[in-house]
């Protein structure tokens, strides 16, 4: 049996995290000693592994609790699901690495690639994630409605939506030499704003919040930096002009 401190050390998390999992009913200790110490056995270890795997896939604790509380939840089946999700993530990571490598060769003059190829890593799944992240800054119902909307699209429609999203980023990139307030940059922002309608329709403040997130969230900033380290900052300035013109 493991104490809170021992299990936290084993799993690489903090004792406070374990106590929080206990408090919300996600991971209860298997027994509690007369001294008030919580004790965890092998069943708890397996459950904690599941929780941490779901967290690695960015699931909120509330969703994890709901999934693991379903009748018929089985660890082997869950592990198979985790493996498939991780394989999908690995494939995407490998595509991003290939895009970075190709861009490096392009910048060194060794390999010519088109602007479209610069954006190949921004798949339709990535476009969906961008919108979903923005929605989560506001309310859960918007997220659920957006997910329902996205799932209703056909495979061909999703492909087209991804291409339209990339076209918006390409337009903004091409307008950088002309300035954030230029008609070309503002047209690019308008394309980007219309693209969001496939997922949800942000108001001007939410649109600005999304552009700000592209600059402060390391994951999104890294993707923009692969294209051009100035792109996220330029896009924020262009969106500020766009929002200012709408108010």
Q: Break the chain into its structural domains and give their ranges.
A: 4-68, 74-113, 114-246
pLDDT of residue 129: 58
Position 115 pLDDT exceeds 60: no
Does the 4-68 domain belong in CATH 1.10.287.4070?
no
| pLDDT given for residue 190 in this prediction | 94
Does the pTM of the predicted model rise above 0.85?
A: no
Q: What band does 117 get if pLDDT is binned at 50, 70 and 90? A: low
State the average pLDDT over residues 108-127. 56
**HEC profile for 183-240?**
HHHHHHHHHHHHHHCCCCCCCHHHHHHHHHHHHHCHHHHHHHHHHCCCHHHHHHHHHH
Q: How much is the mean pLDDT over the chain?
A: 79
- Residues 117-121: contacts with CB under 8 Å, at least 24 apart: 118/226, 118/227, 119/166, 119/169, 119/170, 119/227, 120/95, 121/95, 121/96, 121/223, 121/226
Q: How distant is the alpha carbon of residue 134 from its chain centre?
A: 9
* Alpha-carbon distances of 128 from 111, 157, 165, 195, rounded to whole Å: 30, 13, 10, 11
CATH (one of 1.10.490.50, 1.10.3720.10, 3.90.45.10, 1.10.40.30) for 114-246: 1.10.490.50
pLDDT tens column, 6-58: 998 988 899 999 999 999 999 999 888 888 888 999 888 988 998 888 887 77
User: How many alpha carbons lie under 13 Å from residue 164 in its C-beta half-sphere?
Assistant: 16
Q: In whole angstroms, what separates CA 32 from the centre of its chain? A: 38
Please give the average per-residue pLDDT across 203-218, as a whole number. Answer: 81
User: Given a cut of 70, is residue 179 above it in pLDDT?
Assistant: yes
Residue-level pLDDT at 189: 95
- Residue 67 has what pLDDT? 82
Q: How many CB atoms lie under 10 A from the CB of residue 34?
A: 5
- Comparing CA positions, the residue from 14, 5, 46, 54 lying closest to residue 27 is 46
Share of the chain above pLDDT 70, in %: 79
């Amino acid at each position: 049996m493991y104490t809170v401190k021992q299990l936290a050390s084993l799993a690489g998390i903090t004792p406070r995290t374990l106590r929080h999992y206990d408090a919300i009913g996600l991971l209860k200790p298997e027994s509690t000693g007369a001294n008030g110490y919580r004790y965890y056995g092998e069943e708890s270890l397996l459950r904690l592994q599941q929780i941490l795997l779901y967290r690695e896939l960015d699931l909120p604790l509330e969703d994890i609790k709901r999934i693991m509380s379903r009748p018929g939840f089985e660890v082997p089946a869950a592990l198979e699901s985790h493996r498939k999700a991780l394989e999908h993530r690995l494939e995407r990571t490998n595509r991003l690495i290939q895009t970075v490598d190709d861009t490096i060769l392009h910048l060194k003059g060794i390999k010519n690639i088109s602007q479209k190829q610069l954006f190949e890593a921004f798949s339709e799944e990535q476009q969906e994630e961008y919108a979903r992240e923005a929605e989560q800054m506001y309310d859960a119902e918007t997220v659920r409605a957006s997910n329902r909307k996205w799932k209703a699209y056909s495979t061909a429609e999703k492909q087209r939506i991804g291409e339209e999203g990339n076209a918006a980023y390409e337009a903004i990139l091409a307008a950088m030499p002309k300035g954030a307030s230029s008609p070309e940059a503002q047209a690019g922002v308008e394309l980007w704003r219309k693209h969001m309608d496939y997922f949800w329709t942000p108001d001007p403040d939410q649109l600005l919040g999304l552009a700000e997130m592209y600059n402060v969230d390391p994951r999104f900033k890294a993707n923009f930096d692969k294209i051009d380290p100035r792109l996220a900052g330029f896009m924020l300035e262009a969106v500020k002009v766009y929002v200012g013109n709408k108010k």
